[in-house]
Structure 1
Amino acid sequence: MVIRSRDMKRSLLVILILNTCCVFSQIAHDAYYLVGCFENGTTEVQFALDAEEFFYVNFKREEVVYTLPKFVVDDPSHIFEIPHLYRDAARAKALCPVAAALIKAEEKNPPEERDPPESILYPAEEVQLGVEHTLICFVNHFYPPDIRVSWTKNGDLVSEGVSLSRYFLNNDQTFHQFSTLTFTPREGDIYSCTVEHLALARPLTRIWEPEFTHPSPGPDIFCGVGLTLGLLGVAAGTVLLVKGHHGQ
């Protein structure tokens, strides 16, 4: 078991790491069982297999939510006993106050370094003028897992059409998270995604401006231009012929 306390004022994390866990076959796999205990009383429980999240626990609904696609695991109950998983998660949640007290008792030790986030901002697909699209702000490699993401359009804060995913555990015990913005691009619009985190001296902002590919003149216009020039040439030749005829 690994207990990490990077910021006692914000969050506590208890991470149980199971190495070489054979689940599907005789091949060794790395499994991570994560229990996140937060100061506001909330608890997050996740299970990841080979850096891919397998399931998380929704305590409000009192259920285990599987996040792997069905083509990987059609019926998770064949692998895990679901009621047993929820009972274990509830017990882990009950241990959060104990873990908090344990870490607070060791507060005199120097805190571990915080990891500042990195972020990139990009559209989900090729952008077309006047068509609804999605912008993705991907935030990665941060610890502790508390971030704040905000969006602007042309300098004004935007809240409509904004979503923020749960955080996901990386192999190095940092985290990553996605925020998305649904928008309809217009000429001249400028969007930004700003990330705030304890490890940042100032907010981290990424700016994105839609670029539209306008259709080129194409062969039809060039054909029209060629036809016009050709007709002018015929007219000029006719005038010359008429003048030559009268000059005879």
Structure 2
Amino acid sequence: MKMLQLRLSMDTLHTLILLLPLLATLAHCDGHSLSQMLFCQPNAPSSGLLKMFDGDQMFSYNFSDNSVLPWIKDFDQWRDRAFPNASNISFHLKLCNQFREDLTKALIDITPEARGGAQVTVYTAHPLRLGAQNTLICVIDDVYPPALTITWRKNGDILKTGLNSHSYFAMDDFSFQAFSYLNATPYHSDVFSCEVQVGGDNRTIVGYWIPQYPVPSDLLENVLCGLGFALGIIFLLLSLLFFYFAKTLHNQD
């Protein structure tokens, strides 16, 4: 079964319609669904092609070099079968852009602007240990259109190293989700922020992260363990001492 999903967005600030057609092909088999989504837009990235299974993304298509990117390494074994009709991709992309251009002209000043309300959350990939390397994950939900500028800051300064971002992840409501990763070594006084700007929007959505309730470091664990062992010996000696005095007083009586 084939279904054509169409969603429009008009950028009134530039008197142009930001149109994002979504071309999705859905196949159902034994209660499972396999879907394919193609989008095109004036913003970067100008096009995208995603394949999902039961709502979970498996592959994305890289138009710059016509390669297939698996969402996780386990999917790499099916890379060659991800888009079996690769020869039709250019045709569908051309059709998508033609729809966008024609509907932009037809619906300008008619269709209201459709835009997601992006939400930003930042958390760590591993339990926090101050002074130990970790990975901060910036999750951006409800992204529409799929055109983001992501900036990481540490204590107000822009970071340009240790960054890694994944392609867009398609959601069931035809919005998108995106991830950005920062390799960092956090300390107690650090403040990290993930700043997100959606294409065609003047707003900046910021997610902050500061170290809280860290897992004790190995040095602190060793110190606490040694302190506990020393206190145990002291209490044992005191107990023996009290027992000795109590027995001595009892013998005198």
Q: Structure 2 length normalisation: TM-score?
A: 0.75
Give the 3 Å change call, closer, same or farther, for CA 199–118 of structure 1 in structure 2.
farther
Residue in 2 aligned with 1:174? 175
1:29 is paired with a residue whose SS is strand
**Structure 1, unaligned stretches of length 5 or more?**
238-248
1:55-109, Cα deviation, whole Å (9 max, x unpaired): 2222222233344654x7844556863xx32x11111222344123212222132
The answer to whether the aligner puts 1:212 opposite 2:221 as a matched pair is no
Give the 3 Å change call, closer, same or farther, for CA 229–156 of structure 1 in structure 2.
farther
Larger Rg: 1
Whether contact under 8 Å (1:37, 1:44) holds in the other structure is no
Given candidates 41, 44, 47, the residue that maps to 1:43 is 47
1:130-145 to 2 correspondence within 5 Å? Answer: 130-145=131-146
1:1-36, Cα deviation, whole Å (9 max, x unpaired): 2222213558532212334x13xx433525232232
Whether contact under 8 Å (2:127, 2:215) holds in the other structure is no
Whether contact under 8 Å (1:138, 1:179) holds in the other structure is yes
1:95 is paired with a residue whose SS is helix
**1:10, 1:149 → 2: CA distance?**
24
The answer to whether the aligner puts 1:16 opposite 2:23 as a matched pair is yes
1:121-140, Cα deviation, whole Å (9 max, x unpaired): 10001122322110001000
| Percent of aligned pairs sharing the same letter | 23
Given candidates 232, 235, 240, the residue that maps to 1:223 is 232
Report which structure shows greater RCO (CA 8 Å, sep ≥6): 2
RMSD value, Cα? 3.3
Residue in 1 aligned with 2:190? 189
Give the 3 Å change call, closer, same or farther, for CA 33–138 of structure 1 in structure 2.
same
Residue in 2 aligned with 1:90? 90
Partner AA of 2:94 in structure 1: A
Whether contact under 8 Å (2:55, 2:171) holds in the other structure is yes
1:23-53, Cα deviation, whole Å (9 max, x unpaired): xx43352523223233468322222232122
Which one has the bigger helix percentage?
Answer: 2
**2:64, 2:82 → 1: CA distance?**
24
Stretch of structure 1 that moved more, 45-54 or 2-11 = 2-11
Whether contact under 8 Å (1:119, 1:137) holds in the other structure is yes
Whether contact under 8 Å (2:8, 2:111) holds in the other structure is no
Q: How many residue pairs get matched?
A: 231
**2:25, 2:185 → 1: CA distance?**
45
The answer to whether the aligner puts 1:162 opposite 2:166 as a matched pair is no
**Structure 2, unaligned stretches of length 5 or more?**
246-253
1:205-244, Cα deviation, whole Å (9 max, x unpaired): 222122434437342131254368679989xx8xxxxxxx
